[in-house]
Structure 1
Amino acid sequence: MAAVREPEWLKERRGDAARRAAELDVPRFKGKAGWEFTDITKLDLATFAAAAPGEGDASAADRVETLLEAPEGAHHLGQVDGRVIDGGDTPDDLLVLPLTLACETHADLVHEHLGTIVDPELNVFTALNDAGWTGGAFVYVPRGVRVEQPIVLSAISDAAGTALHRRVLIVLEEGAEAEVWEQHLSGTTDNETLLNSVVELRVGQNARLRFVGAQDMNEKSWVFGAQRAEVARDGHLDWVTAGFGSGNGKVFTETLLAGEGSHAKVTGAYAPHARQHVDFHTLQEHGAANTTSDLAFRGILADRSSAVWRGMIKVDEGAQQTDAFQECRNLLLSKKAHVDAIPGLEILANDVRCTHAAAIAQIDPEQVFYLNSRGLDDAASKRLVIEGFMAELIERFEPGPIREAMAGAIERRLSVLLD
């Protein structure tokens, strides 16, 4: 991809962000609210060089095994480190572009939305992303347009010692419909890399977006993310997130129901093993009356792995008739695996219905005994119990490509955990 010229407003934004980043420290274990359970003291940001625009080994796209199997006809856009891989033609009635290119060719449109959803001062990682993102993706669906096939965005971290600051901006105008899948992968199994992702989703009035964000990075990588959506009046967001890889990190997943009658469904899955650590921080913010949200996370943990889920339902003042639910259920395959599941409520309205639940358990020996009595050995019995535990999660996906892709991804991950 040819070099692009950045508009002045973007250059100024990058400069301001770089100055902010220089003033911020890496969040310290037990020293920063929200980071009490994730120790990143071994992270030295100075050892990672930001991915250079246009630089990356394109052959990595052929080396990696995809996480989400996309159906025929899907629209693709890829990136290896700082190099964009052209995904081919897209229909004339929508935009699927590298964000760097969109800043040149559709500067006013990008300027209107970029940086308006995720707080660039959330932490040092969002500031670094604001200053140094490259490549990225911009998806724009105009008013009333319905995209029939999924849009698949792939980002591969490949070169050792590289920090990929990845930026994705998705905008659906009024009445638009689309399905966007983003997957983060590693080009090798042993190169230590850092993925620092920011995703901004804007769902317009009466628009419908399904967004799938999944990562299967290698177990030497660091993963940090700030993902936030704003849903306008009568808009609908179906958000799926999965964290199978990486060695350590933390991801914020936030939804603001900004318009009356808006709805969000968030479904998450994680499955670490060995000494992996994953951390999800979710927020369902109800900023308007008559809004609904439904969040469900499932975790399966093996060996000495650990996970954190911290969820918050926040009902703003005046957001009456809110109906919100959240749950996180975890299955431990080892006595040395550990989970912290922390649901929370912050309610500033008096006519609401908000419920939450969290559970952590090991495989029930009575279930295994029952299956043994039907002729199955222990390995087959435990696998059936685990598959049953995840089946309820898969049923949250509508029949079609997304259910097939997520079911396949979970099945392959279980094979890793149970080997």
Structure 2
Amino acid sequence: MKNLANYLDNVNVFSATKEEPSWMLELRQKALEQVDELALPVIDRVKFQRWPLLDIKEDAFNEPEFSGSVPVFDEMKDNPLLVQVDEQSSFEQLPQELADQGVIFTDLFTAMQEHPELVKEYYMTKAVPFSEDKLTAAHAAFMNSGAFLYVPKNVVIEEPIEAMFYQTSSRAHFFKHVLIVADEHSEFSYLERFISQGSEEAVSANIVIEVIAKAGAKIKYAAIDQLGENVTAYINRRGHILRDAMVDWAIGVMNDGDVIADFDSDLVGDGAHSEVKAVAISAGRQTQGIDTRVTNKAPHSIGHILQHGVIRERGTLTFNGIGHIIKGAKGADAQQESRVMMLSDQARGDANPILLIDENEVTAGHAASVGRLDPEEMYYLMSRGLRKEDAERLVIRGFLGSVITAIPVKEVRNELVEVIERKLNA
């Protein structure tokens, strides 16, 4: 990285401005020292090494003026809600009864000041180590905003917890960190959106979401990513899942720019369980490479992957499904299905299944396919009077439907269908 000393000065000033605890500044400094030394992550069959993922402006920590206006979001409800615009929180809502039970849901810097030991215990220590690779180190050094959610032991939240992150400034980098900690036997649903608006200048994004599910916790996590064509992004979502805990992931990858993503679940406790469902659409000339990995580290752990994607025009979409059963994880179950549909002769798709089995007495399997629209399905629908465009839309909806219907939250299913329709009609 160029002008490292200047970046170090900027990092130090930013940390002081945010009144971060000393351990956070030390972590930033250590990470910055290692950025140049570490290698990029490996995303099989995706050439992203020349992407501007580390293109950070020297004045990027100078926060833009906040207009005070809040983007339009869902009709006001009483559920927990956090809205961030660029680096600033514009709206936070947490019902009093949840606050009385010890639930914490706020921006990351407030959490560091008010709950420093709790954040320190989990921030880039369990799920995503800051020194894992060049992009995680850059994230730790340049993280400029994010959120913290903590749900205490035995607390069950019926209403969904929503977080919305908007990027409107083309000057600032978009390095968001979301840390979610579900204490023992807690249960809740979490809904997340990343949206970029109005930025015509190229900008880099580096987003890390850490989900810590302690013993017996159950989390339904849903996300819809809608970053614009001028945003080049690295997105890392990872679960650290303990004994008898479960994280049910449902992710819509609906970006317009180039993206590499890691969607990982580490099953570290006996009986840990992860279900990963992802849908993606690539169009134009964009490239999206998605590594979805489940690592069974403990006996009787269960990890299932289901991902379907559609490619239009000259888009490129790669699914790498990785199931890894570690030595000692007897009785583990690792299953995956990856399917890609291409709507153009110039589209490029890949579904790459990888099974790494280091133990006996386990169950594992995979299915993968890459193909085009079924001409017999199209002929049948058009013979019934449907226009080609309408028939194509029905076939695509059916293709993605097996994933969409598996999403546990109705509102997210409906919203994802709307986003898919907009992207297909663009």
User: TM-score under structure 1 normalisation?
Assistant: 0.91
Q: Which residue of 2 aligns with 1:45?
A: 54
The counterpart of 2:238, out of the listed 222, 228, 232, is 228
From the superposition, tell whether residues 217 and 155 of structure 1 become closer, same or farther in structure 2 (CA, over 3 Å). Answer: same
Q: Which residue of 2 aligns with 1:327?
A: 337
- Alignment of 1:340 onto 2:354: no
In structure 2, stretches of 5+ residues that fail to align are: 1-15
TM-superposed CA distance for 1:233, in Å, is: 1.0
TM-superposed CA distance for 1:89, in Å, is: 3.5
Could you tell me which amino acid in structure 2 is paired with residue 86 of structure 1?
Answer: F
Q: Is the 8 A contact 1:128 1:165 kept in 2?
A: no
| RMSD after superposition | 2.2
Q: Which residue of 1 aligns with 2:31?
A: 17
Q: Which residue of 1 aligns with 2:104?
A: 95
Report the identity percentage.
27
In structure 1, stretches of 5+ residues that fail to align are: none
From the superposition, tell whether residues 56 and 233 of structure 1 become closer, same or farther in structure 2 (CA, over 3 Å). Answer: farther
The counterpart of 1:82, out of the listed 77, 87, 102, is 87
Give me the whole-angstrom Cα distance separating, in 2, the residues matched to 1:359 and 1:70: 40
User: TM-score under structure 2 normalisation?
Assistant: 0.89
From the superposition, tell whether residues 49 and 162 of structure 1 become closer, same or farther in structure 2 (CA, over 3 Å). Answer: farther
**Deviations 1:58-99 (CA, angstroms, capped at 9, x unpaired):** 46742xx76xx5883332212222222232334312100111
Q: Is the 8 A contact 1:58 1:80 kept in 2?
A: no
From the superposition, tell whether residues 305 and 12 of structure 1 become closer, same or farther in structure 2 (CA, over 3 Å). Answer: same
From the superposition, tell whether residues 101 and 197 of structure 1 become closer, same or farther in structure 2 (CA, over 3 Å). Answer: same
Give me the whole-angstrom Cα distance separating, in 2, the residues matched to 1:397 and 1:387: 15
From the superposition, tell whether residues 115 and 241 of structure 1 become closer, same or farther in structure 2 (CA, over 3 Å). Answer: same
Q: Is the 8 A contact 1:158 1:193 kept in 2?
A: no
**Deviations 1:263-296 (CA, angstroms, capped at 9, x unpaired):** 1110001111111111111110001111112111
TM-superposed CA distance for 1:230, in Å, is: 1.0
- Alignment of 1:191 onto 2:201: yes
Q: Which residue of 1 aligns with 2:43?
A: 34
Could you tell me which amino acid in structure 2 is paired with residue 247 of structure 1?
Answer: G
Q: Which residue of 1 aligns with 2:77?
A: 72
Give me the whole-angstrom Cα distance separating, in 2, the residues matched to 1:178 and 1:193: 33
Query: Which SS does the other structure have where 1:87 is aligned?
Result: strand
Q: How does 1:97-246 map to 2 (within 5 A)?
A: 97-116=106-125, 117-188=127-198, 190-246=200-256
TM-superposed CA distance for 1:3, in Å, is: 5.7
Q: Is the 8 A contact 1:53 1:82 kept in 2?
A: no
Comparing 207-216 with 155-164, greater Cα deviation is found at: 155-164
Give me the whole-angstrom Cα distance separating, in 2, the residues matched to 1:48 and 1:217: 19
Q: How does 1:304-315 map to 2 (within 5 A)?
A: 304-315=314-325
Give me the whole-angstrom Cα distance separating, in 2, the residues matched to 1:317 and 1:273: 41
Q: Which residue of 2 aligns with 1:255?
A: 265
TM-superposed CA distance for 1:6, in Å, is: 1.4
Give me the whole-angstrom Cα distance separating, in 2, the residues matched to 1:79 and 1:188: 15
Query: Which SS does the other structure have where 2:223 is aligned?
Result: strand
Give me the whole-angstrom Cα distance separating, in 1, the residues matched to 2:413 and 2:75: 11
Could you tell me which amino acid in structure 2 is paired with residue 282 of structure 1?
Answer: T
Q: Which residue of 1 aligns with 2:396?
A: 386
From the superposition, tell whether residues 246 and 24 of structure 1 become closer, same or farther in structure 2 (CA, over 3 Å). Answer: farther
From the superposition, tell whether residues 53 and 266 of structure 1 become closer, same or farther in structure 2 (CA, over 3 Å). Answer: farther
Give me the whole-angstrom Cα distance separating, in 1, the residues matched to 2:59 and 2:45: 27
Give me the whole-angstrom Cα distance separating, in 2, the residues matched to 1:183 and 1:46: 24
From the superposition, tell whether residues 119 and 322 of structure 1 become closer, same or farther in structure 2 (CA, over 3 Å). Answer: same
